[in-house]
Amino acid sequence: MRDLPNDPGLTLSALVSARGPYVGTQRPNERPTRWANHARLDRVIDELARGFGFQSWWPASTPFEVIVGAILTQNTAWTNVEKALARLSSLGEITPGRILALDREHLREALVPSGYFNAKTKKLLAISEWYLAVGGLAALRERPLAPLREELLEVHGVGPETADSILCYAAGRATCVVDAYTRRMLARHRLCDGELPYESIRRWLEERLVDDRFVYEEFHALVVRAGYQHCKPSPACDSCPATTPVALRSKRARAPNRG
């Protein structure tokens, strides 16, 4: 299959941060005056934004590269994804038509750094075929969101987190990405039960976040930054910009004074 003519998904991004090009919304001159219509959620996001600054997400040269990255980042660190993307790029432009035309062994070898490369080869081929068949980025931007998301979830290797990453960052749609960091942060700040089903947490967030593309993009990016550096299985709350979660603060208050 050939790439679609004039597909905006293959257009190089004009947005650049210190880390390189990224796909998303041009960051505003100032932080939003409000992130969420929920006081405590709004406060947590604002504290993360003040502490970390703008995140400039998603790191990619084109919207289609966002889609490739969303597949490759499954069950691995982003540093491994970057290595796989570099190897894939050395084989030619990262486009759906190019991926489908590649020798399968060469494609698998390029994806080795991302782990599970046999499975991810099949997933990357499936999402490339679907992307071309559906009409490229124009369709992802313009089609009604709910049925489009359901169709995307039927593509081999695409689960809810991957689908929402693609729709939010590549297509700029108002859908919230929920990952392990999101669950952990919401639970520790006693905002939402982190054990709820994916769709329940996504709806909870979408009912409360300000309906703005930049807010959706930056919210997930800030949560990932906090999760990677602070909100780990063993939390490092004292160094996190967000106010210490109530549960951990009360736990310390109950601890015996050893002074």
pLDDT tens string 65-123:
999 999 999 999 999 999 999 999 999 999 999 999 999 999 999 999 999 999 999 99
258 confidence band (pLDDT: 50, 70, 90): very low
Per-residue model confidence as pLDDT tens digits over 159-209: 999 999 999 999 999 999 999 999 999 999 999 999 999 999 999 999 999
Distance CA 154, CA 26 (A): 31
Gap between the Cα atoms of 223 and 230, Å rounded: 10
**d(C-alpha 196, C-alpha 201), whole Å:** 6
SS3 of residue 251 by DSSP: helix
Q: What's the DSSP call for residue 169?
A: I
Report the candidate in 190, 186, 193, 199 with the shortest Cα–Cα distance to residue 246. Answer: 190
A 10 A CB-CB count for 6 gives 9
The reported pLDDT for the residue numbered 250 is 53
Q: Could you identify the residue written with the tokens 């939003």?
A: 32
| Range with lowest mean pLDDT among 187-196, 216-225, 229-238 | 229-238
Confidence (pLDDT) at 253: 55
Position 4 scores a pLDDT of: 96
What pLDDT score does 247 carry? 52
CA 248 – CA 258 distance, rounded (Å): 18
Higher pLDDT, 143 or 249: 143
231 pLDDT more than 50: yes
Task: State how far the alpha carbon of 98 is from the alpha carbons of 70, 128, 211, 238, in Å.
Answer: 18, 9, 36, 47
Model pLDDT, residue 1: 76
Please state, in angstroms and rounded to a whole number, the distance separating the CA atoms of residues 243 and 248: 11
Contact in structure between 25 and 217 (CB atoms under 8 Å): yes
The mean-pLDDT minimum among 15-24, 82-91, 212-221, 246-255 falls in: 246-255
For the segment 201-223, the average pLDDT, to the nearest whole number, is 97
Q: Render pLDDT for 120-135 as a digit per residue (tens, 0 to 9).
A: 999 999 999 999 999 9
Do residues 57 and 22 touch, judged by C-beta distance below 8 A? Answer: yes
Task: Please tell me the distance from the alpha carbon of residue 223 to that of residue 218, in angstroms, as a whole number.
Answer: 8
Q: Which candidate, 248, 227, 259, 226, places its Cα nearest to that of 46?
A: 226
* b/e sequence 69-106, b meaning 16+ C-beta within 10 Å: bbbbbbebeeebbbbbbebbeeeeebbbbbbbebeeee
Q: What is the pLDDT of residues 14-58, one digit of tens each?
A: 999 988 999 999 888 888 999 999 999 999 999 999 999 999 999
Residue 178 confidence (pLDDT): 97
